[in-house]
Structure 1
Amino acid sequence: MNGGQIGYYVHHHGEGHRRRAQAIAAQAPGRFTLIGTGVTGLFGPFEVLELPDDRSDGGFSGEDGAADRPDALHYAPIDHSGVRDRMRLIAAWIAERRPALMVVDVSVEVAMLARLCATPTVYVRLAGARWDPAHLDAFRGAKALLAPFDPRCEADDVPDWVRAKTVYASGLGSFPPAGNRTDNVVLVAFGRGGSRITAQDIDEAARATPDRRWRVIGRVERPTQAPSNLDVAGWVDDAADEIGVAAVVVGGAGDGVLAAVAAAERPFVCIPEDRPFAEQHAKAAALDRAGAAVVLSRWPSASAWPRVLQQAEALDHRRIASFHDANGAGSAASLIERWADR
């Protein structure tokens, strides 16, 4: 093994964090330990440290119910055994392994814990206007910031010092296109973060385009009586492969879906979801400005779908491809190793 150990904290809300961590760690076999909830099943040339869940509800609202939380923290519920145990395990791992660096994707609390344990950090900075005191403190305390998005997706009001500290690496965690084959499928792709799109929305769209095959992957309710041209597959492990051969992809502007669509150069109908700090809206606006996708503020009426799909297929595929860096994971891993070895 060359150099010291590198810890990589993996947030458990959304699939993009896991994909990024796996892709980066695979570039430096033996150096990384992925730390988080739900990392046990991840495969690659890295170690894992499974953490207890810290969620207070079935999903992850980010609300901790604390009225007296310090400004430097986002999520710090009181009397939560999961939070206590995960922080204890992280601190114990740092004390035992003495890592050269911690990559934090994402948690201002873990970034602060690493700093308190005398460990430098690289903070993964997501898109959107994240200029609240907690984020800015995490950014200020990091050796560098890693942004898993194209610089065109940057918020207009990003502070100059934050931009200067940021390395942009789009395409992290995405996979190469499956090949030249293209299925005649409109693929609706949902991530783990959930969606406001309903089963009825998809049912009506499929009925309005009987000449198209529709397939839905991810977390979504099934229509009560789906039309014959609609297949609701649910969660799949090979989402990038399915995106790679779809005629048109419909989805939000989450990191995982956007990276896979850009890597595969697929026609894209982007309907951004409401996420904290307007993250998806920032990326969708960049796609719209570049003419790289058909960007809609909401799911269109059923009668609009034939025209929407035709507009997407008429786009120049090189524009969406420009949002993907095929060497993103390798470049990010090299930079992280360099920062760790300084």
Structure 2
Amino acid sequence: MIGMYAHHHGSGHLQRAFAVAAHVDDEVTILTSANVEAATNPDPTRIRVLPLPLDHDGPGAVAEPDRPVLEPTAGGRLHWAPLGQPGLRRRTAMLTGWIDTHRPTVMWTDVSVEVTLATRLTGTPVVSTVLPGRRDDIPHTLAHGVCSALVAGWPRSAGAPVPAGATEPLIPVGGVSRFAGRHPDQADRGHGRARVLHLRGSGGSGRDRRWDAVRDELDGVEWVELGGPGGRWVSDPWSELCRADVVISAAGQSSVADLAAADAHVVAVPEERPFGEQDDTAAKLDGLGHGAVVGHDSTVAHLVRAVRRTLERSRSTPGAGSGLREAWEIDGAAGRLAAVLETVAADSMAGAR
């Protein structure tokens, strides 16, 4: 049995867990507080999901509004472990109880310092995802140091540093995408009326009105918008990704991986995240020379220029992709991550004999 923990922020962590689980030969249980309806289980007979309660009093949790949040970081040593939080207590008990019952050979945490530490304290080997950005604070340093291996969802060309607290370099596996098994049919890309797809994910905040002004500036362009609070959602946006001449998207890891799988021409808009995660991902993308990156505070005029330049590049070679799929190492990424888990599991079993 292999365990996987998928964080509940956005839908990317759960989608990534299912993608990797599909490449694992052993049985898998995904433990998560995320909305499981946001992703498709590729093999329900072998891949199970254990829903966990949320560890806060926000939407979807059992709120106790009169209870104050006390010492959530344990003096700066953890990221989120408030005293007296009932959801946190129950989810930790469920996690360790599941480990005691099923005795997984390895747990992959994507991502949580607290789940990583709780798992390791049961004597279970842990593999953790290292997200982009600066992660040299005390909690990350502690979590990195207790892991048997550390993986990253970016290509090898973007670097394999030794994370703070670790003794070995992390293992870049490439971009893990739920669409890795598909290949873009680009017959509609670059022909007819220019088409711009604006993706607004589930992990962001409010609507960025700058893009409404950009849309109004682009005469003759078909503008399609998906996602965001109150927006139109589709369960499978693959055809939209492949039809668009340009895709405007945040720079979350799963978002970039899905765009790369479609070999899309991208305008990346990094959103503000802790530790500069999306800024770092966008910088890696920019360093490969694929797509355009705009800033948090870019003017409407700058955004219009970025979209137009990307449109010109896309339309100059009708039907061709951007090259991002190969550069971001989409093909085989989920299998490479699964292989890391199976190697750690095999080593732990050999050591236990």
Same fold per superposition (TM over 0.5): yes
Deviation at 1:201, TM superposition (A): 2.3
Deviation at 1:304, TM superposition (A): 4.8
Paired with 1:149 and 1:86, the residues of 2 have a C-alpha distance of 30
- AA of the residue aligned to 2:144: F
Matches within 5 A, 1:96-245: 96-153=101-158, 159=163, 162=166, 164-175=168-179, 176-182=182-188, 184-195=194-205, 197-198=207-208, 200-220=209-229, 233-245=231-243
> Is the Cα contact below 8 Å between 2:6 and 2:30 reproduced in 1?
yes
* Cα 1:331/1:275, change in 2 over 3 Å: same
* Cα 1:244/1:162, change in 2 over 3 Å: farther
* Cα 1:307/1:255, change in 2 over 3 Å: same
Matches within 5 A, 1:272-283: 272-283=270-281
RMSD: 2.7
Deviation at 1:337, TM superposition (A): 1.1
1:334 aligns with 2:333: no
Match of 2:2 in 1: 6
Secondary structure of the structure 2 residue equivalent to 1:317: coil
1:260 aligns with 2:266: no
Deviation at 1:258, TM superposition (A): 0.6
TM-score by length of 2: 0.83
- Comparing 134-143 with 176-185, which one deviates more in the overlay? 176-185
1:80 aligns with 2:80: no
- AA of the residue aligned to 1:204: A
Secondary structure of the structure 1 residue equivalent to 2:223: strand
* Cα 1:64/1:286, change in 2 over 3 Å: farther
Measured against aligned partners, the alpha-carbon deviations of 1:52-81 in whole angstroms (never above 9, x if no partner) come to: 111333499xx9652671443110011111
Paired with 1:111 and 1:245, the residues of 2 have a C-alpha distance of 40
1:27 aligns with 2:23: yes
- AA of the residue aligned to 1:54: D
Deviation at 1:192, TM superposition (A): 1.9
Identity between Structure 1 and Structure 2 (%)? 31
- Comparing 91-100 with 22-31, which one deviates more in the overlay? 22-31
Match of 2:317 in 1: none
Paired with 1:299 and 1:243, the residues of 2 have a C-alpha distance of 26
Secondary structure of the structure 2 residue equivalent to 1:112: helix
> Is the Cα contact below 8 Å between 1:177 and 1:244 reproduced in 2?
no
Secondary structure of the structure 1 residue equivalent to 2:216: helix
Secondary structure of the structure 1 residue equivalent to 2:224: strand
Paired with 1:257 and 1:68, the residues of 2 have a C-alpha distance of 29
Paired with 1:207 and 1:122, the residues of 2 have a C-alpha distance of 47
Secondary structure of the structure 1 residue equivalent to 2:323: helix
- AA of the residue aligned to 1:76: A
Paired with 1:117 and 1:257, the residues of 2 have a C-alpha distance of 33
* Cα 1:67/1:335, change in 2 over 3 Å: closer
Deviation at 1:305, TM superposition (A): 5.1
Matches within 5 A, 1:64-79: 65-66=70-71, 69-79=74-84
Paired with 2:118 and 2:238, the residues of 1 have a C-alpha distance of 34
Secondary structure of the structure 2 residue equivalent to 1:234: coil
Paired with 2:153 and 2:339, the residues of 1 have a C-alpha distance of 15
Deviation at 1:308, TM superposition (A): 2.2
* Cα 1:29/1:235, change in 2 over 3 Å: farther
Deviation at 1:90, TM superposition (A): 0.7
Deviation at 1:31, TM superposition (A): 1.8
- AA of the residue aligned to 1:193: G
TM-score by length of 1: 0.85
* Cα 1:158/1:167, change in 2 over 3 Å: closer
Q: Which runs of 5+ in 1 are unaligned?
A: 222-232
Secondary structure of the structure 1 residue equivalent to 2:131: coil
- Comparing 47-56 with 116-125, which one deviates more in the overlay? 47-56
* Cα 1:302/1:150, change in 2 over 3 Å: same
